[in-house]
Amino acid sequence: MTRLVRAELFKAGAHRVTWVLAAAAPTFCVAWAVLIVALSPASAALPPSSVYTMGQQAYLFTLILGILGMSAEFRHRTIVWSFLVTPRRGAVVTAKLVAYGLIGLAVAVMSALATFAAGASLLAVKGAPVMDPAVLGALGGGVLSTAGYGVLGVALAVLIRNQVAAVFLACLIFMYGDYFLSWLAPGVYPWLPTGAARAMSGLRLDTAALLPAWGGALLFAGYVAVIVIFARLVTLRRDVA
């Protein structure tokens, strides 16, 4: 399994898109942090943790990384060779899940650090506090949930083999779908994947009361686990020819 994971990490590093998305994620998060501070009418009253939770915006990039890493195997038919080299399909999928979980973790850590550095600098310049008791939870929860989206992306690509369709549907669901459902049924957002992931960082919204951080973590982990298990079962049964 260790060798399989290393092979997956090597393959991921050989693709330029991996490095492009990994570099774009911190930049995107910093832009959000700058926007939050700039638009805040009273920076002195702005909780620092609410700025640092913008590091979680990297979730979109780790999600896409996971999808591309798995769907490319089907698109270019290299999945056939992977299963020939390692006939245990479950091991191949597990290695892919672990590899992109690690990649997602690395991207999440870089994004969190960049967001913290930029956010703290901006808050200090505006004379606002740069730390509060919720900062470590905001950063840690954001890192874990962002890494989880990388695993989720791999599982979704197993279920939706078409690369374009997988990326489009995933972005549609996790960027807009949850919000649309919460608009149709107010109060449901905290129980949806996006709401659970955001709760992990201790984020608080004006429009909905999210779960506590530990509750969001358990719920989000449950969503990821169910989709991963389903993806593994599909992989074992579905023809790849």
Indicate the burial class of 130 (C-beta count within 10 angstroms; 0-12, 13-18, 19 or more): middle
Report percent pLDDT > 90 for the chain: 40
The pTM assigned to this predicted structure is 0.88
Q: Residue 155 has what pLDDT? A: 92
191 phi and psi, to 5 degrees?
Answer: -95, 0
* Residue 223 confidence class, pLDDT cut points 50, 70, 90: very high
pLDDT tier, 240 (very low <50, low <70, confident <90, very high otherwise): low
Tokens 């989206």 belong to residue: 149
Among the listed ranges 41-50, 95-104, 105-114, 191-200, which one has the minimum average pLDDT value?
41-50
* Res. 168: pLDDT tops 60: yes
Whether residue 143 is predicted with pLDDT greater than 60 in this model: the reply is yes
Number of H helices, E strands in the chain: 11, 0
Residue 89: what pLDDT?
66
Residue in 176, 149, 133, 126 with CA at minimum distance from that of residue 55: 149
Q: Lowest-confidence range among 134-143, 196-205, 231-240?
A: 231-240
Q: Rounded to the nearest 5°, which phi and psi values hold at 4?
A: -65, -40
- For residue 221, name the pLDDT band (cuts at 50, 70, 90): very high
CB 158 within 8 A of CB 235: yes
pLDDT at residue 116, rounded to an integer: 95
Q: Residue 4: is its pLDDT beyond 60?
A: yes
The dihedral formed by the CA atoms of 221, 225, 231 and 237, expressed in degrees to the nearest 10 = 180
pLDDT tens by residue, 68-113: 988 887 776 666 666 656 667 667 788 889 999 999 999 999 999 9
The predicted pLDDT at position 76 comes to 62
- Tell me the pLDDT band of 47, cut-offs 50, 70 and 90: confident
User: Which range is least confidently modeled, 34-38, 95-99, 201-205, 214-218?
Assistant: 201-205
Q: What is the pLDDT of residues 9-41, one digit of tens each?
A: 888 888 899 999 999 999 999 999 999 888 877
> What sign does the dihedral 28-34-36-39 (CA atoms) show?
negative
Q: Give, as one character, the DSSP assignment of residue 176.
A: I
| Residue-averaged pLDDT of the chain | 85
